[in-house]
Structure formats: structure tokens, C-alpha cells
Structure 1
Amino acid sequence: MNIAAHPVVASLTPVFLLIGLGYLAGRMHWIRDEAVKDLSNLVFLLLIPALLFRTMSSVHFEELDWRPVGAYFLAALTLLAVSIVWRGFNRGSVVMALAGTFSNMVMLGITLVELAYGKAGLVTLLTVVSVHALIMLTLGSIVLELAVAREARLGGERTPHVLETAWSAFKGALIHPIPLPIISGLLFAQTGLELPSVIDKPLQLLGSAFGPIALVLVGVTLALTPMRGYLRQALWVSASKNVFLPVMVGLSAWALGITGLPLTVLVVAAALPVGANVFLFAQRYEVAEQVTTAAMGLSTALALVTLSFAMTFMSWLN
């Protein structure tokens, strides 16, 4: 058998090559640190919304299977709760638990799943992505605010009501460049209309640019990520994200009767490395910033092995 023609190899190779080129660009300082933020804004505010809206603009509600969403979050939220209890309830433990359960579904997952499993696999992934940020970011914000409130009460300070915090977190996660274009695209699809070519073509070109730019940006970020001194803690977070979560998601999906391509996409999504949004939490709450950064880098590097294994195992299983 020609190894290069194997579907797992064929889909993973361009992904890791582009990440490798981005890593080289970062190490050689071809892209300045200040430019990384601008590129991130370009990807998140323009390229991703174009891709997500166009993909979902032809998907009808009756074609969607919401069981994968239930299976994924049953496992993810269970692991999140166990991780917080294991480390103790404080800001640092919540941030590290989020890092161990928050997948890089957008920057890495969308391109990888589309390459490996086509539009059918992408629809399953985007069904999860549509509520991934909403659920994880909202819940993360609430739990972190509860941790802050607990610390403040112990210090004798006054804190906002938890419902005020929950509403603020919900609005912030809903009005976001990920769920908003997915929901908008789905609503447009229900009208039965088709995008005019004069609009569809630019969206297609913008969406096509997303994959390579996002993957190169992952590599640049990896090159600029310091890991020295935090490897042990980062290794635990990476094990949770790259190994424990996909195993738990796979078992949860199997228990709910999910098989075939949806099961594969769920496991692969869970096996993706730590998503960048976790660092925003660490930065905002001024806790575990170095560990989170190290975990993102180590998790991405280890994904070369763990993600390859997950995809190969699922292709064998199916």
C-alpha cells in the first residue's frame, strides 16, 4: 500500500507542513511579534466568518444531528469538573482545567476535518463548533468569576451578583465571530434562497484563504511560545486535552449510539490541541499565563503523534 496515499497521511501532511513553515517563519523572525495579532484579527474577524457562513448557508435544520453535541459536552464538562476538583477550586485550577478541555477546533480543526472527511464531516464539526465557544467560554467565565468572588469574600471584598456575571458572559460568547456566522448561515439556509454568485464567490475566496493562513499562524505562535520551566504542568494539561478528552468523548458518543463518520469527527475534534481562547482567560484573570502558554505549545507539538494516532485508530475502527 502506498503510505502517502493513505487518507490520514494525505490529510495530516499538508496541515503539519504548513504549521512547520509557520514555525520556521516565527523562528527566523520573518513575521514580527506585532504582526501576529493583526494576522489573528484577519483570520478571526474576516476569513473564519466568511467560511462558516458560506458552509452553513446551504445546510437545513432537518439535516443536522444534535446527538454529537450532547455526546461531546457530556464528556468535556465531566472532565472539566473532575479537573477543577482534582486541583482545588481557584482561578489557576479553572484556567488549567479549561486548557485541558478546550479544543483548537477553528484554527486547526476546520481545515483538518475538511481535508480528511469532506463537507459531511465539516457539518458535524461545525454543529459542535456552533455551541463550543458559547458553552465553554460562558461556563468558563462563570466558574472563574465564582472563583474570584470566593477569593474576594475571603478577603472581605464585595463582588457582582452571579446572574449579572452569567448574562455578561453569555452575551460575550454569543456575539462572537464563531457562533454568529454559523447561526446566521443556518437561518439563511432555512429561507430556501441561494447566495448570488457575486456574493458567493468572494466568500469562497476568503474561506479558501483561511486554511493556509490559520495553519501558518499556529506555527508562528508555536515558535514564539516559551515552554522552559513549565513542562511538567503543561504535560498534565496536554495529556488531558490530547488523550483523556478524546477517549471520554469516544466512549460518550458510543454510549449514545453514534457511529461512523460523526463518531470519527467527534474523536478527532476532541484530540485537537489546546485552543488559544484559554490564554485570553489566563491573561484576563492574571493567573497561570506561563503554564497555559506552555501547554498550548506542548499540546500542539504532541498532536503530531496523538492526533495522528486518533485519526488512524478511527479509520481502522470504521
Structure 2
Amino acid sequence: MNSSVLASLVPVVLLIGAGFLAGRRGWVTGGAVRDLSNLIFLLLAPALLFRTMSTVHVEQLKLGPVAAYFLAAGLIFAATLVVRGFNRTAAVIALANTFSNTVMIGIPLIGLAFGPEGTVVVLTLISLHSLVLLTSATLVLELAVAREQARQPGGERTPILRTLGRAFYNAIVHPVPLPIIAGLLFAQTGLTLPESVDKPIAWLGQAFGPIALVMVGITLASTAIGHQWRAALTQALIKNLAHPALVALLGWLLGLRGLPLQVMVVAAALPIGANVFLFSQRYKTAEDLVTASVAVSTALALVTVSVVMALVGSL
């Protein structure tokens, strides 16, 4: 097995395992799980997203290499909604099929495998990854929620434009897209955060990844993965293999070659990101399936990422 793959994935597996142990031992139970989820979603994630985007300058981004990634993600997301229907469960599963763990695993893995040039490419993707995928998913989820509420007995049917406006507003004024947009706007001013402000934001952001993965393990401890393993394996195979295969095909058709395409394919092969788990909790849907899928996808990535990295050399 590629040593860089092992070095990047083992810490993720260990953190999930630590959370699993904490859940089994009863160290975190009941309402504390929901409170911890709120802490991650409402405080730690916004800090990470704002700080990441606060140094991104739009004019410096090379968008060509990421086009194949987002085109593939969009096709898979849309296909999932077509197959499963337009509802919040389908939207969360579609996000699981397309959202990679680009920060915790992607940065160290691609840096080790492709060097500084590869790191620049993956950071360009990361600067847009959450903005495009999480904002789009939030908009779809808010529309789905509005549609479900309108279909309930006695539910108020509002005009489509009002529904779209409310969903768009909720998708922007939201703990995930809002800090992304705010950080991006701040970056364009050319200002920098004072160290006394930047340091606590950095600490909060650094806490996001480990705590989110521990949270996955805690939830996994109370999840009967036995009856979810087939569906979880399906999600993992779509994310770990179908997504990178489609990126490779579309990238080739778009004329991409060499390192930029290789980095995008490897990024697509990364396992499901923990943000999907937080979305499933936020919208109270498919929580057991997403928890199992994140765990299975991460474990399976020890093999599938190694295979993908062995094959991308020919691109």
C-alpha cells in the first residue's frame, strides 16, 4: 500500500475509532450528542470555512482543472435526485456521493504524492469545494423541506417564487454558506485579520476536523451498521470509485492532461467528508446511513485511493 495513503487515512480511522470507544463507554450520551453536533456545525465549521476563504483571491484561481470535478459532481448529484426523488433524504445522499474529505485527507495526501504544484491545484479546489457543493446542497435541502411542509395536511402552499426566495435566503443565511461567502468577500478587501482575532478563529477551525470525526465515531457506536452495510457499501463505491472515474472521463474530454487532472481524480476518490454527516443531523434524515457510509468509505479508501493513485499516472 502507498505509504502516503496510509499516513493520511490511518489518523482519520483512529479518530473515528476513538469516538466509537467514547460512545460505547457512555462518555457522551443522550442530549450531549445533539449539543456536540450543534457546537461543530454552528461554531467550529464556520470558523474553519471563514478563515479558509479569507485568504482566497478570485483573480488568482485557475478554474480550468476544477471544472471536470464539479461537472462530475453535478451529474452524480442530479442523477441521485432523479433516482431517489426530490426530498431531503435524497439530497443528503447525493451530497454523500459527491463531497470529498479534501481538507483532513486531501491536503496531506496530495502534498505527499504530488508535491507543491499538486498542493496548489488541490487548494484551488478546496477554496471552491464547500462554497459550490455545500451551498448548492443547502439550497436543494431548503427547497425539499419547503416542498414537504406544503404537502403536509393543512400545509400552506406558497407561490413558487416565494418558496424559491425563502429557500435561497435560508441557503445563504446558514452556518455553512454564510461564513464561506463572508470570508471570500473579506479576502477581496485586501485586509488581514489582526493576530489577536485570527488566532482564536484558527484554533476553532483546527478543532473542527478531529471533533467532527470523533462525533462520527460516537454516533456510529449507537448505529446498527449491520442492516446498513449494503447501502453504506453502495454509497462508498459511488464516492470512492464512480466519482473519480467520471472526473477522469470528463477531464479527458475537456482536454485536461497531466498533474492537474491527476490531482482532481485523486480528490474525487477521497472518502466522504464529515460535513455530510453534520448535514444529515441538521436536517434529521438518513443519519444512520450517512454515519455508516462515512465509516465504510473511509475504511475502503485505504484500498481504493491506492488503486486510483496507481492508475492516474497514465492520464
Letter in 1 for 2:164: A
Say which of 42, 47, 62 aligns to 2:39. Answer: 42
Tell me if 1:114 matches 2:107.
yes
Letter in 2 for 1:273: I
Q: Distance in 1 between matches of 2:91 and 2:195?
A: 45
Q: Distance in 2 between matches of 1:306 and 1:134?
A: 27
1:29–1:67 Cα change, 3 Å: farther
Q: Contact 1:234 / 1:294 at 8 angstroms: preserved in 2?
A: no
1:43–1:206 Cα change, 3 Å: same
TM-score between the two structures when normalised by the length of structure 2: 0.79
Q: Distance in 1 between matches of 2:309 and 2:82?
A: 35
Q: Contact 2:102 / 2:270 at 8 angstroms: preserved in 1?
A: no
Q: Distance in 1 between matches of 2:169 and 2:66?
A: 21
Paired residues, number = 301
Q: Contact 2:23 / 2:219 at 8 angstroms: preserved in 1?
A: yes
Aligned-pair identity in percent equals 38
Tell me if 1:298 matches 2:292.
yes
Structure 1 residue 141: Cα displacement: 3.8
Q: 2:115 aligns to what?
A: none
Structure 2 counterpart SS, 1:210: helix
Q: 1:286 aligns to what?
A: none
Structure 1 residue 68: Cα displacement: 5.5
1:250–1:309 Cα change, 3 Å: farther
Q: 1:210 aligns to what?
A: 208
Q: Distance in 1 between matches of 2:156 and 2:32?
A: 40
Q: 2:62 aligns to what?
A: 65
Provide Cα deviations, 1:252-294, integer angstroms capped at 9, x if missing partner.
33433445356535653565337225535874xxxxx5xx234
Q: 1:184 aligns to what?
A: 182
Q: Report runs of 4+ in structure 1 exceeding 6 Å deviation.
A: 155-158
Q: Contact 1:69 / 1:128 at 8 angstroms: preserved in 2?
A: no
Structure 1 residue 8: Cα displacement: 1.1
Q: Distance in 2 between matches of 1:85 and 1:19?
A: 32
Structure 1 residue 159: Cα displacement: 2.4
1:227–1:162 Cα change, 3 Å: farther
Which has the larger displacement, 25-34 or 271-280?
A: 271-280
TM-score between the two structures when normalised by the length of structure 1: 0.78
1:148–1:250 Cα change, 3 Å: farther
Q: Contact 1:133 / 1:173 at 8 angstroms: preserved in 2?
A: no
Structure 1 residue 69: Cα displacement: 5.5
Tell me if 1:56 matches 2:50.
no
Q: Contact 2:134 / 2:177 at 8 angstroms: preserved in 1?
A: yes
Tell me if 1:223 matches 2:221.
yes
RMSD between aligned residues: 3.3
Q: Contact 1:68 / 1:128 at 8 angstroms: preserved in 2?
A: no
Q: Contact 1:102 / 1:278 at 8 angstroms: preserved in 2?
A: no
Q: Distance in 2 between matches of 1:157 and 1:42?
A: 32
Structure 1 residue 127: Cα displacement: 0.7
Which has the larger displacement, 33-42 or 240-249?
A: 240-249
Structure 1 residue 160: Cα displacement: 2.1
Structure 2 counterpart SS, 1:276: helix
Structure 2 counterpart SS, 1:58: coil
Structure 2 counterpart SS, 1:177: coil
Structure 2 counterpart SS, 1:74: helix
